[in-house]
Structure 1
Amino acid sequence: MYLEVCANKMQLEPYFYNSAKSDFMRDLTSPLKGFGINHFAFIRMFDKQSFRLADQPNWLRTYFENEFYNDTELYQEVINDLELGEEKFKFLTNQPEGPHQNLLVENNLWHFLLHFKRSKNFVDFWCFSAEPSNSEILNDYIGNLNKYKNIANQLIGKIVLEMEEDCNHQKFIKTDLSLPKLKNRYAYKHLNCGQILSIELTEKQNQCLFFCYERIF
């Protein structure tokens, strides 16, 4: 039982919630097998907490037991660099390094396509993976990023509806990940020397700038 081995009892509710939603997620993502995809996960990361659903119940216990939701190398380093509305793709492949990656391979999950997108109050993360022997999937990822992004967005639309229906903060995973505050920054060209200056604006100045921009352009 997870209850017997989990060091962090605060995570019991989200663990059992994820477990209960495994059938829903597997039904939702079953068409992905035709693309060679064997795993899809979605995480909405807030400050110090996350909402997660995925379709691999066998990986679920390992994920929670090892507290991989706190993997700062995988998540935090990317989150820190994202601006509002910015999105990033990453690949997790080649030789696995560290406990998290090695356990993924042991669970037959590898060659990941990762995607991050920053919104005002959260970062959305999703990933696809394939079997370790299916390295050809990488070429398909690279040549069809928009296809996988569209598929993920369709899945996330249904997951978010489920999330809103079940909304309960006890089902959120408590994490060590922090969501950096966004800053309103605009580049201005200095007319005399062409230097680009980064200027931080107040909310009022920001509103005025948008008004002027829309009137001019």
Structure 2
Amino acid sequence: MMGSAAALASLAVALLSLAYTIWDARQGRKQKQIAWSVIQDQPLQPATAAFSDLHLLWRDQMIVDPHLISVQFSNMGRVVLTPEDLSSPLAVRITGAVIVSARAELAPRVSVRSKQIQVKVPEGSTAEVETNLFLNPGDDLRFYVLADGKVEGIHAELHAADFSLVSKEYAAENNPRLNQRIALFAATTVSSLTAIAAFLINFLAKRG
């Protein structure tokens, strides 16, 4: 009798711990938050005087000072970013250089395959998403930009209802408990499943 009561108590504690851990993890995520980061900002010209006169040709256009830039947007919230939320297209803006070409890829969280996204360059310094975009929680959108000139600044632009745009570093710094939550969730899940398994084994053994 005491064994059954102890098993039931352990099961109840495990389930309550698991429920609290899930709730705590969900509280740690902002409802509507898009984080962005510069993945790559690399000149394509050799940094040696011997090749200082080397230029690139892109579709009949001479590029004197080529830079390859990669910017990633990540939906770190719990709400889908839809076309209806956007008052202007999601965009990357470059200062000090001219955008020669740009493309984008959507990397869904639930798929290993990326999807090509149409991008247009309405101005020489801005590349923006041209098509309707749905960015689900956990999805990444990556811009790849070829620029000509000395890049002075790289900026992300998002104008969407109630959505905040923050740097990925800021999001990480302002959620210092994230790794603790993940570890606690894993540990609690294992202990809860162990308690449930022990209870079921005990229950089936007594019925047998």
> Which band: TM-score by shorter chain?
under 0.3
Q: Which has the higher helix share?
A: 1
- Give the structure-1-normalised TM-score: 0.24
Structure 2 length-normalised TM: 0.24
> Which has more strand, going by share of residues?
2
Asked which structure has the greater CA Rg, the reply is 2
Higher relative contact order, structure no. (Cα contacts within 8 Å, ≥ 6 residues apart):
2
